[in-house]
């Protein structure tokens, strides 16, 4: 089983993924998290990816596709996997489609989380992330119990480098140009499930989990 979370920056992919993977037995594969950890480690992948990420641009397809291949093979033993932030270009989606038979995985559903742009900007500029476990918080919409401390692991919270207003605006443009075409791509294949992401976190989760429960 393979599930994809598709949606603009700040639409709540990471937030929902945390809830989905804790309830359903799915490996969590977030290309954004994997790339950020490579940047932090300053390894070869991180050194190549950093320049793109800092500018709000997409990392080249070949780098991302290699990451995904490895992670999918590691996900054996789980019921399936949940992709957050992959695929993000038509080229990546075509790669995935071709790779599925070989990987013996079926793509069951693509959730397209739709949120108004003004709301996305508020969410991204107020976001804080745990430096240890990666959990997402928001100064107003999802504050931690103790200021700047992760509820789950006690780690320090930080602001992502790409969450400045200027980079957020660039990321939203990149989304429209390079990722939004995937909505039609998956609609045509009968795999798209649109989700109203303007609701609160639990409301969005309810909508997603009711579809997932029926798969
Ligand atoms: P990535 O890390 O995937 O970033 P993104 O797609 O821009 O999405 P975000 O993580 O910013 O948002 P989210 O949807 O996860 O929202 P969240 O749940 O945190 O990618 C980063 C970069 O890596 C890319 O720019 C690119 O360079 C590179 N990259 C990654 N994948 C790639 C790929 N496949 N190909 C090429 N390059 C790739 O929520 C946001 C905030 O809102 C939080 O504060 C949260 O608490 C709050 N919130 C969430 N839901 C709600 C709600 N319902 N109501 C109120 N607040 C909410
Ligand atoms: Mg995320
Ligand atoms: Zn944490």
Assign residue 25 the CATH number of its domain.
3.40.50.300
Helices (H), the chain: 13-23, 31-41, 44-54, 61-74, 90-103, 117-125, 165-174, 181-188, 201-213
Which mutation among 15, 143, 201 tests ligand 1's pocket best, with the greatest number of atoms within 8 A of CB? 15
Quick: pLDDT tens for 4-36. 999 999 999 999 999 999 999 899 999 999 999
Catalytic positions are 13, 88, 127, 160, 171
Q: 70, 63, 62, 58: which is closest to 29 by C-alpha?
A: 70
Atom of ligand 1 nearest to the CA of 15: 18
Nearest CA to ligand 1 atom 12: 10
Rounded to whole angstroms, how far apart are CA atoms 188 and 177? 19
Number of domains in the chain: 1
Q: Note whether residue 172 is domain-resident.
A: no
Mean pLDDT score, 36-55: 96
What is the value of pTM for the model shown? 0.96
pLDDT at 75 over 80: no
Residue 44 within any structural domain of the chain? yes
What pLDDT is recorded for position 70? 87
Hey, which of 6, 12, 20, 129 would you mutate to test ligand 1's pocket, going by the most ligand atoms within 8 Å of its Cβ?
12
Q: What angle do CA 6, 10, 16 make, to 5 degrees?
A: 60
Is 42 exposed, middle or buried, given 0-12, 13-18 or 19+ CB atoms closer than 10 A?
exposed
Residue 16 belongs to a domain: yes
Residue 184 belongs to a domain? yes
3-state secondary structure of 195: strand
- What pLDDT is attached to residue 69? 87
- Planar angle of CA 149, 154, 160, nearest 5 degrees: 50
107-123: pLDDT as tens digits: 999 999 999 999 999 99
Pocket-forming residues, ligand 1, beta carbon under 6 Å: 7, 9-15, 31-32, 35, 52-53, 56-59, 64, 85-86, 88, 92, 123-124, 127, 136-138, 141-142, 171, 200-201, 204
Residue 163: nearest ligand to its CA? Answer: 1
Give the model's pLDDT for residue 3: 97
State pLDDT tens for residues 137-158: 999 999 999 999 999 999 999 9
What residues make up the domain containing 73? 2-116+178-212
State pLDDT tens for residues 151-201.
999 999 999 999 999 999 999 999 999 999 999 999 999 999 999 999 999
Cα 43 to ligand 1 centroid, rounded to whole Å: 22
Q: Could you tell me if 49 and 63 are in contact, meaning their C-beta atoms sit under 8 angstroms apart?
A: yes
> Which residue has the CA at smallest separation from atom 30 of ligand 1?
32
- Read off the pLDDT band of 95 (50, 70, 90): very high
Q: How far is the CA of 32 from the centre of ligand 2 (A)?
A: 7
Q: Is residue 92 part of a domain?
A: yes
């Amino acid at each position: 089983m393979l599930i994809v979370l598709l949606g603009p920056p700040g639409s709540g992919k990471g937030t929902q993924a945390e809830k989905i993977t804790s309830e359903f037995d799915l490996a969590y594969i977030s290309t954004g998290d994997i790339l950020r950890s490579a940047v932090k480690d300053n390894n070869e992948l991180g050194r190549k990816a950093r320049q793109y990420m800092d500018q709000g641009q997409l990392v080249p397809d070949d780098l991302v596709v290699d990451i995904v291949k490895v992670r999918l093979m590691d996900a054996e033993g789980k019921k399936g996997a949940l992709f957050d932030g992959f695929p993000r270009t038509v080229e990546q989606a075509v790669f995935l489609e071709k790779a599925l038979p070989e990987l013996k995985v079926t793509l069951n559903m693509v959730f397209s989380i739709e949120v108004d742009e003004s709301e996305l900007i508020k969410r991204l500029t107020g976001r804080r992330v745990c430096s240890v476990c990666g959990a997402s918080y928001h100064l107003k919409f999802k504050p931690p119990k103790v200021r700047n401390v992760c509820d789950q692991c006690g780690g320090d919270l930080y602001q992502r480098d790409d969450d400045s207003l200027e980079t957020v605006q660039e990321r939203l443009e990149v989304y429209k140009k390079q990722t939004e075409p995937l909505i039609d791509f998956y609609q045509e294949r009968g795999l798209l499930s649109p989700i109203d992401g303007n609701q609160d976190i639990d409301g969005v989760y309810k909508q997603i989990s009711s579809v997932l429960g029926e798969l």
